[in-house]
Amino acid sequence: MEALFGIGLAVEADLRGAALSWWMVRAIPEESGALLINMATIEAAWLALLGDMGITSPTATAPPRHPLVAQLLEIAPEPESETGFPENYELLKAGVTS
């Protein structure tokens, strides 16, 4: 469980970093859009891993979500499965099982 919480912290840190980057480039559609897709991909991989482990609440294994991160995830487009999802999922899974 400790490894899972550590990975949860890393996921939230990545999402917060991407949210801060989005804030800096929000007026540049290409850049801000890419950051939103990246955030959605990380989130999808995290939720898929938790689902595979039978965990239904991401906050059970990570700190509370920052409101800006939550807002950006709501407006982010659906991630494409071939655009980073498998790599993110495998990295997260390896971190939990190691």
Query: Is residue 9 over pLDDT 70?
Result: yes
Tell me which long-range contacts 29-37 makes (C-beta under 8 A, separation of at least 24).
33/77, 36/72, 36/75, 36/76, 36/77, 37/76, 37/77, 37/79, 37/80, 37/83
Say what the pLDDT of residue 62 is: 83
Residue 13, C-beta contacts closer than 8 angstroms, at least 6 positions apart = none
Angstrom CA distances, 31 to 4, 40, 76, 89, 91, stand at 31, 14, 13, 23, 24
In this predicted model, what pLDDT tens digit does every residue of 35-91 receive, in sequence order?
Answer: 999 999 999 999 999 999 998 877 778 888 999 999 999 999 988 766 788 889 999
